[in-house]
Amino acid sequence: MVTFGRPFPTEIGSYHSSMAPPPAHAFQAEDAEADVTIWKEALFAADLLLLHASPVYYGLGIPRGDGSAVVLVPGFLGTDAYLTQLHSWVGRIGYRPYFSGIGLNAECPNLLIQRRLNDNIQRALFDTNRKIHLVGHSLGGIIARSVASQRPDDVASVITLASPFRGTVVHRTILHAAEAVRKRILEEHGTGVLPTCYTGSCTCDFLASLRRKMPASVHETAIYTRNDGIADWRYCMTGDPECDFEVPGTHIGLAFNASVYTIIAKRLALARSDD
């Protein structure tokens, strides 16, 4: 989960479900507390159990891959380890899966991309000699969209799972955790990062690319759930009904959701057929 907006400890904006999100092309720089119920996220274990009972997990009834690379990016405070199920499945259906290599996702996103993620992307490009696909969960999806915007010639498609890439409207707990990460980033890097790092006011390449429209050559897919207990689901959509897909489940559980896996397989195949 990403959290960038005006630095905490200034007062967090209040958000109500009756308020409409910004237009699809807009990016809300100011953060706000989402009207969501975080306890629902405890139900993510059900998604994992149902996944292993689904034929989709074993590669049945879905399009097969062509050996192209799929790079997976974890969410806020997560590592590649929790995407192991998704990684194994991507390989099982005929693609070449790659972890992000970013380590713990609690760092300046611009640095994560420049110093770590781009290295694995280069390896995937070299190994397959074709455009790659990016799949990111939560904050990982926002990072993936930023990369796709910066490197459209290298990216065939980008798929986000519960990623609020239109603005930080999330549970207060996440806002507090993000502020702690922001302070550590500034203490550790000092002048190595911009003073507004980890806020929506930052002028780094990461934020600048999110404010731009996705290049037409990159296939977009945004998967979201209305039962999200972390982020407001309306900020996880592109606004294009051809690209937005609603599934049942939880924010955390979208990384282990059979319906999500089905959509990923179909969207990867579609991006491939349109190359």
Per-residue confidence (pLDDT) for residue 6, from 0 to 100: 30
CATH code (residue 65): 3.40.50.1820
**Residue at 9 is within a domain:** no
> Domain tally for the chain?
1
**Residue at 1 is within a domain:** no
**Residue at 149 is within a domain:** yes
**Residue at 248 is within a domain:** yes
* Closest CA relative to residue 110, chosen from 188, 41, 207, 26: 207
Per-residue confidence (pLDDT) for residue 171, from 0 to 100: 59
Q: How confident is the model at residue 23 (pLDDT cuts 50, 70, 90)?
A: low
Residue 212 has pLDDT above 90, yes or no: no
Per-residue pLDDT tens digits for 2-14: 333 333 222 333 3
Per-residue pLDDT tens digits for 216-239: 999 999 999 999 888 889 889 999
**Residue at 84 is within a domain:** yes
pTM: 0.86
261: containing domain: 28-273
Among 28-32, 146-150, 270-274, the range scoring the smallest mean pLDDT is: 28-32
Q: Mean per-residue pLDDT for 148-170?
A: 91
**Residue at 180 is within a domain:** yes
* Closest CA relative to residue 254, chosen from 98, 107, 141: 141
CA distance 3 to 200: 9
**Residue at 106 is within a domain:** yes
**Residue at 5 is within a domain:** no
Identity of residue 129: N
Q: Is 46 exposed, middle or buried (0-12, 13-18, 19+ CB in 10 A)?
A: middle
